Amino acid sequence: MTTSPEPTVTATTLPGYTPGTWAIDPVHTEVAFAVRHLGVANVRGRFDEFTGEIVLAENPLESSVTATIQIASVSTGHEQRDNHIRSEEFLNAAEFPEMTFRSTEIRVGDGDGFLVDGELSVHGATQPVTLDLELIGFGKGYQDRPVVGFTATTQISRKAFGVHGGPTSAMLGDAIKITLDVEAALVQ
């Protein structure tokens, strides 16, 4: 029995690939989530304040990403719900003001995609997560500054991070779907 070789990715196989440090552009990026409510509908929201850095290495699979999200910036379009999410019953923004992500490995995924393994820290707990990443591509932004765009998705268990939700917990699903639509600009 023969096995197929591992897929290879190089800077030359990714059109426009430019090694360097890239800053996530908060104006053109969305950090969104969805959770099942009462088992019949999704409640969607986003975080409006975040920073992040992507370091693209000469070998794309040796690249890294870090991001920090401000919990108090949660927005679901409903002020009372947003305040409840910030409260001690959920994310406890007063005690845990940030959630962070740090990549640990990048692998070739299915098709043209990548898998970004990393550690997500929320509510004082750190858990491994894998982002399913689709590279949209490289281009030129304002004043011909190089930009890159991608979409990444994952699903986490809120209970694995100690987010139980108090008396209203039974109304919400445990699975949180996360979608990141990211644009970043080359800074060096």
Quick one: pLDDT at residue 20?
97
Residue 17 near residue 139 (C-beta atoms within 8 A): no
Q: Which of 32-41, 79-88, 144-153, 172-181 has the lowest mean pLDDT?
A: 32-41
The DSSP result for 19-41, as a single string, is: -EEEEE-GGG-EEEEEEEETTTE
Reported as a single tens digit per residue, the pLDDT across 156-169 is 999 999 998 777 77
Residue 157 near residue 175 (C-beta atoms within 8 A): yes
Give mean pLDDT, residues 56-72. 97
Based on DSSP, count helices (H) and strands (E) in the chain, helices before strands: 1, 11
pLDDT at residue 5 tops 50: no
Q: Do β-strands 125-140 and 41-47 pair in parallel, antiparallel, or remain unpaired?
A: unpaired
Give mean pLDDT, residues 64-69. 98
Q: Within 13 Å, how many C-alpha atoms sit on residue 103's CB side? A: 22
Give mean pLDDT, residues 46-73. 97
> For a pLDDT cut of 70, what percent of the chain falls above it?
93
**In Å, how far from its chain's centre is CA 161?**
16
Residue 25 near residue 68 (C-beta atoms within 8 A): no
Name the DSSP letter for residue 77.
S
Give mean pLDDT, residues 74-86. 95
From 81, 37, 33, select the one nearest 173 (Cα to Cα).
Answer: 37
Domains in the chain (CATH in brackets) are: 18-186 (2.40.128.110)
Reported as a single tens digit per residue, the pLDDT across 92-140 is 999 999 999 999 999 999 888 999 999 999 999 999 999 999 999 999 9
Reported as a single tens digit per residue, the pLDDT across 131-143 is 999 999 999 988 8
Q: What is the mean pLDDT of the chain?
A: 92
